[in-house]
Amino acid sequence: MSKYTEDDLREELKTKEYEYGFYTDIESETFAKGLNEEVVRAISKKKNEPQWMTDWRLEAFRVWEKMEEPEWANVQYEKPNFQEIAYYSAPKPKKKLDSLDEVDPDLLETFKKLGISIDEQKKLANVAVDIVIDSVSVATTFKKTLGEKGIIFMPISEAIQEHPALVRKYLGTIVPTTDNFYAALNSAVFSDGSFCYIPKGVKCPMELSTYFRINEGGTGQFERTLVVADKGSYVSYLEGCTAPARDENQLHAAVVELIALDDAEIKYSTVQNWYPGDAAGVGGVYNFVTKRALCETNAKVSWTQVETGSAITWKYPSCILKGNNSVGEFYSIAVTNNYQQADTGTKMIHLGKNTKSTIISKGISAGKSQNSYRGLVQIGARAENARNFSQCDSLLMGNACGAHTFPYIEVKNKSAQIEHEATTSKIGEEQLFYCNQRGIDTEKAIALIVNGFSKEVLNKLPMEFAVEAQKLLEISLEGSVG
Amino acid sequence: MLKINNLHATVENKRILKGINLEVNPGEVHAIMGPNGAGKSTMASVIAGSESYEMTEGTIELEGIDLTDLAPEERAHQGVFLSFQYPVEIPGVSVTNFIKTAINENRKAKGLGDMPAKDLLKKIREKSALLEIDRKFLSRSLNEGFSGGEKKRNEIFQMAMLEPKLAILDETDSGLDIDALRIVASGVNKLKSKDNAVIIITHYQRLLEYIKPDFVHVLYDGKIVKTGDASLALELEEKGYDWIKELT
């Protein structure tokens, strides 16, 4: 009798290779390895930044130098040697690009492999793409349409030149340079990222989307994203990443700041597929991300993330619900396989009255991976009638993986209502046999079960992204578990 | 259609089936009866290819095709359907999505493309009407929070959608109230044809009042110890199983 046991499943899992593990040969300009004040100054100079920006970076660097790398997360890895990393890498621009035809053909080929060719993207109506390759944006589309609405969507390096007052007003206000080790590092050395500003009362007519990639071996990627939604405005922002296979560990320490002013709404969706390392746990991206949002009165921020990649993930998209009646949401699917480790979750800080937050976290662990949910729900003393609902579900595949939940709840106001639900389940032989009996093979059955498990979160993604995310889930668990 | 020859099966080295012989022809309804622990459900699972059991001896053929080395899904593609005694829950997967996937996987195995949405919808409408299934039911997560009756009705709905050659109903009558029993039985009767066959596994002859068997087999201690027509079921109902035990 042909059998498909848990062992077979695990075996197939091991042999699953990184789908997007290719390397594009684009001429790059890379700084020598190492980090000191001179390097920080050089980055700033390279970017032709104003003095205030240089000073801001230097201040961050000085703070970072005195900080210790945090160790509280439920992940184990060899700490990166920060002097062995090159802090700047940019594709050498041949000339200023006016149209997509002028984009490096190799680069276009890379996008084709990823199935996100710019041509396709252009056809996907209403999606403006700001593509970030190795830290420097090389193409920006739909800028004109956005411009007519007064929406600013551009690489942050350009925004520093063109809209210095706006950037200066908001940069670092939500995630201060001193916030944490990685945020300080990012502030000192970030090479590029995206800046988005939606003017008062404007509903952004399209999903704004950015693709990040790490390309040059051995260069860290330090992205900086700043989204400001002015009063009464709305924007849906998509961020997706894939990275080519590399042997040495790559450090990725991004900072994302969202500011939703009164009555504004920001939907921020991420599909993350950094290289997770091979089946033996060698290589893979270290992903240490700080994402935080500020909600003013009646504002709403939704974080939706599908995390399938990275060797190590350390990421807690958070909401500071400062304004009365503000709403924070966190919807997450985190998949770990082989030796991947993820410690991810959210923080909902309720400061205003009648603030509401919802947390839906779905963790899927396979192989020898460890998947942790870490969340904080904090109700401040003046947050009358604050409400939170949290649901943390874990799905296990096989016997060698782990799922952990670390919920923290701090309440300083008696009127708060907090609900927390958690479940852990395992894909069972019985479920698989049931599907098999209906003619569905094990791989397809696992994809079906995983999609069912993740549905509440997948439903929160914009259409364009939901399809890609579903595909990613299947790829990440292929063989095994799909 | 189905030929079972000298079937032996074990679970964790414990012998459950000890030489079953059974032949089922197209158009026939066979009932398998017997006391608890006789091996009725094991037999159903082994025919469907469950890996929880080890088939140690014998052969199972469907229309001349040896099922022994086929995976459960391959047996399904050949036309074997098992209505489970305890259908499992799959959270987040709707009844519709599940059946759509099952139908398309079966079509794929036959080299066909996905069933066009229009045809699928038509079929769902038709079959759900047959089993008096409410439209809302189809959008619910598979078996999650279903009552016993809903679970069984859903099994027969899937059978109606998949149109198997051989359907094995494992204690489909358990957990059904009299109305649900009538609906399920009338559904099975309507799906019966001269080209397919049904094996009904049951304790009681209750279901057999609605679905008339051509043959009744008594399974005891891993073997078929007696075979008769529908009247045997009535005899069992009246006398119980003790006299069967004495037969062996």
Contact B72 A440 (CB under 8 A): no
Residue keyed to tokens 């958070």: A318
Question: Which pLDDT score, from 0 to 100, does residue A215 have?
Answer: 47
Contact A439 B102 (CB under 8 A): yes
When computed from its CA atoms, the radius of gyration of chain B, rounded to whole angstroms, is: 18
Shortest Cα–Cα distance, A349 to chain B (Å) = 30
Burial B207-232 (b: 16+ CB within 10 A, else e): bbeebebebbbbbbbbbbbbeeebeb
Shortest Cα–Cα distance, B155 to chain A (Å) = 10
**Beta bridge mates, B130:** none
As a whole number, the mean pLDDT across chain B is: 93
Of A189, A167, A321, the closest CA to residue A254 belongs to A189
In chain B, which residues have their Cβ closer than 8 Å to the Cβ of A427? none
Contact A438 B90 (CB under 8 A): no
In chain A, which residues have their Cβ closer than 8 Å to the Cβ of B75? 437
Task: Name which of A435, A443, A454, A458 to mutate to probe chain B: the one with the most chain B Cβ atoms within 10 A of its Cβ.
Answer: A435
Contact B71 A441 (CB under 8 A): yes
pLDDT in tens, A265-319: 999 998 887 778 777 777 788 889 999 999 999 999 999 999 888 888 999 999 9
Q: In angstroms, rounded to a whole number, what is the distance separating the alpha carbons of residues A407 and A390? A: 9
A297 part of a folded domain: yes
In chain B, which residues have their Cβ closer than 8 Å to the Cβ of A429? 51-52
**Beta bridge mates, A16:** none
- Kindly list the averaged pLDDT for each block of 10 residues, start to end, along chain A of length 482: 47 43 55 83 90 94 90 82 76 50 58 51 42 47 76 89 94 92 92 90 85 48 92 91 55 93 96 79 85 98 90 92 97 90 94 97 91 94 96 90 92 95 89 96 90 90 77 71 40
Question: Which pLDDT score, from 0 to 100, does residue A119 have?
Answer: 45
Q: In angstroms, rounded to a whole number, what is the distance separating the alpha carbons of residues A242 and A103? A: 19
H/E element, A193: strand A192-198
Question: Which pLDDT score, from 0 to 100, does residue B213 have?
Answer: 95
Give the count of domains, chain A: 1
Of A406, A290, A275, A424, the closest CA to residue A337 belongs to A275
SS3 B198: strand
Q: Are A422 and A389 in contact (CB under 8 A)?
A: no
In B, what residues contact A, Cβ < 8 A? Answer: 48-52, 54-55, 68-77, 80-82, 84, 87-88, 90-93, 97-98, 101-102, 105-106, 109, 141, 158, 162
For chains A and B, CB pairs below 8 A equal: 95
Task: Name which of A364, A394, A436 to mutate to probe chain B: the one with the most chain B Cβ atoms within 10 A of its Cβ.
Answer: A436
Shortest Cα–Cα distance, A237 to chain B (Å) = 26
H/E element, A238: strand A234-242
Burial grade of A389 (CB within 10 A; 0-12, 13-18, 19 or more) = middle
Question: Which pLDDT score, from 0 to 100, does residue A478 have?
Answer: 65
Question: Which pLDDT score, from 0 to 100, does residue A4 have?
Answer: 47
Dihedral sign from CA coordinates of B101, B106, B112, B116: negative
Question: Which pLDDT score, from 0 to 100, does residue B136 have?
Answer: 87
Pairing of strands A89-91, A28-30: antiparallel
Question: Which pLDDT score, from 0 to 100, does residue A117 have?
Answer: 47
**Beta bridge mates, A235:** A266
Question: Which pLDDT score, from 0 to 100, does residue A355 have?
Answer: 98
**Beta bridge mates, A195:** A154, A226
In chain A, which residues have their Cβ closer than 8 Å to the Cβ of B82? 437
Task: Name which of B12, B52, B80, B101 to mutate to probe chain A: the one with the most chain A Cβ atoms within 10 A of its Cβ.
Answer: B101
Q: In angstroms, rounded to a whole number, what is the distance separating the alpha carbons of residues B102 and A437? A: 9
Give me the interface pTM, i.e. the ipTM: 0.96
Q: What string of DSSP letters covers B133-158?
A: --GGGGGSEETTT--HHHHHHHHHHH
Name the residue range of residue B169's domain.
2-247
Question: Which pLDDT score, from 0 to 100, does residue A218 have?
Answer: 44
Question: Which pLDDT score, from 0 to 100, does residue A433 have?
Answer: 96
Q: In angstroms, rounded to a whole number, what is the distance separating the alpha carbons of residues A228 and A197? A: 5
Pairing of strands A234-242, A265-273: parallel
In chain B, which residues have their Cβ closer than 8 Å to the Cβ of A435? 73, 90, 102
Q: In angstroms, rounded to a whole number, what is the distance separating the alpha carbons of residues B146 and A369? A: 34
Contact B88 A444 (CB under 8 A): no
Contact A436 B73 (CB under 8 A): yes
Q: Is A456 on the interface with B (CB under 8 A)?
A: yes
Q: Is the pLDDT of residue B164 over 90?
A: yes
Q: In angstroms, rounded to a whole number, what is the distance separating the alpha carbons of residues B130 and B122? A: 13
Q: Where are the extended beta strands (E) located within A47-164?
A: 89-91, 127-133, 136-140, 152-155
Question: Which pLDDT score, from 0 to 100, does residue A482 have?
Answer: 35
Give the count of domains, chain B: 1
Q: Is the pLDDT of residue B217 over 50?
A: yes
A1 part of a folded domain: no
Q: Is A22 on the interface with B (CB under 8 A)?
A: no
Contact A453 B91 (CB under 8 A): yes
Name the residue range of residue A394's domain.
6-476
Of B167, B207, B222, the closest CA to residue B17 belongs to B222
Q: In angstroms, rounded to a whole number, what is the distance separating the alpha carbons of residues B168 and B81? A: 6
Select from B50, B98, B106 the Cβ nearest to the Cβ of A433.
B50
Shortest Cα–Cα distance, A199 to chain B (Å) = 39
Shortest Cα–Cα distance, B92 to chain A (Å) = 4
Select from B69, B92, B158 the Cβ nearest to the Cβ of A1.
B69
Of A314, A363, A291, the closest CA to residue A334 belongs to A363
Q: How many CB atoms lie within 10 A of CB A138?
A: 19
Question: Which pLDDT score, from 0 to 100, does residue A399 have?
Answer: 85
Shortest Cα–Cα distance, A455 to chain B (Å) = 6
Q: Which two tokens stand for residue A76?
A: 């184990």
Q: Taking the CA of residue B178 as centre, how many other CA atoms within 13 Å lie in the half-sphere pointing to its CB?
A: 1
Q: Are A89 and A42 in contact (CB under 8 A)?
A: no
pLDDT in tens, B115-161: 998 899 999 999 999 888 888 889 899 999 998 889 999 999 999 99
Residue keyed to tokens 């080890």: B54
Q: Taking the CA of residue A362 as centre, how many other CA atoms within 13 Å lie in the half-sphere pointing to its CB?
A: 24
A482 part of a folded domain: no
Q: Where are the alpha helices (DSSP H) in A327-480?
A: 429-437, 442-458, 463-476
Q: Which two tokens stand for residue A200?
A: 């008062």
CATH number where B160 lies = 3.40.50.300
As a whole number, the mean pLDDT across chain A is: 81
In chain A, which residues have their Cβ closer than 8 Å to the Cβ of B165? none
Contact B91 A444 (CB under 8 A): no
A416 part of a folded domain: yes
Residue keyed to tokens 């852990």: A424
In chain B, which residues have their Cβ closer than 8 Å to the Cβ of A2? 69-71, 74
Q: In angstroms, rounded to a whole number, what is the distance separating the alpha carbons of residues A14 and A374? A: 27
